[in-house]
Amino acid sequence: MKIITFNLNGIRSAASKGLYDWLQEENPDVLCVQETKAQPDQIDVLQFRELGYHSYIHSAVKKGYSGVAIFSKTEPDYVEIGIGNDKFDVEGRMIRADFGDITILNSYFPSGTTGDIRQEVKMEYLKEIQNFVDELRKERPNIILAGDYNICHKPIDISKPENKKGVSGFLPEEREWVSQFIDSGFIDTLRVFDQSGEKYTWWSYRAGARAKNLGWRIDYQMVTEPLRDKLKSAKIHSNVVMSDHCPYEIVIK
């Protein structure tokens, strides 16, 4: 099973930049996207259907904002929209899809870059998603949490970390959350296969950051420990330029 997560920064924008041709070429079994920035009727599900995908969409109430979607070759056994908290569900931040004994969660974590209020919302979401996953694991031990976490875990995951002190996305309390999330029984899949630096999934549009590879690794596919032996590979597609993010892929048995 090939699973790709990709923050599109607008699905309609990505479509104009070759999304469907890329999808046909990569042919993942499951594509998890974030920041669709579109209502369901603005997403070309017929185009996805022609490529062999079922579409599951969770848009924000606010138009042009946030939103997640899962596109899968196989119809899931079960789909659940939202995290069960209206505060976050109106922002379109989570979809769950079960395939056999594997559960895929696709989430767009809040960003705290716009100020203290949104940073508080972000920290609240981190607690909420931990509780959500803890409860889910009691019945579904094989979980993949894919998406844009909006957090760099370690200095190796961000360019020039010495300049990022006090910056949302690299705050000590955010990084500590990732550490405790992993300690709770999750695996950072990229680091199973690649311990090197300068492996990023997001670059600012400013100052030619992408050309200079001044980036952040904020997109992940964390998997629970029971899936460790099923992991076959992990890959960042840094050459794909349709967004300020790039796709991140894992393959499991």
* Residue 148 appears among annotated catalytic residues: yes
**143 is written with which tokens?**
């979980």
Active-site residue, selected from the candidate residues 148, 157, 188, 219: 148
* C-alpha–C-alpha distance, residues 202 and 19, integer Å: 17
CB contact at 8 A, 95 and 79: yes
**250 is written with which tokens?**
């894992």
CB contact at 8 A, 68 and 108: yes
Cα torsion at 118, 114, 238, 186 (round to 10°)? -20
| Owner of token pair 């789909």 | 79
Where residue 234 falls (left for φ over 0; alpha for ψ -120 to 50; beta otherwise) is beta
* C-alpha–C-alpha distance, residues 107 and 110, integer Å: 9
Residues annotated as catalytic (active site), given as ranges: 148
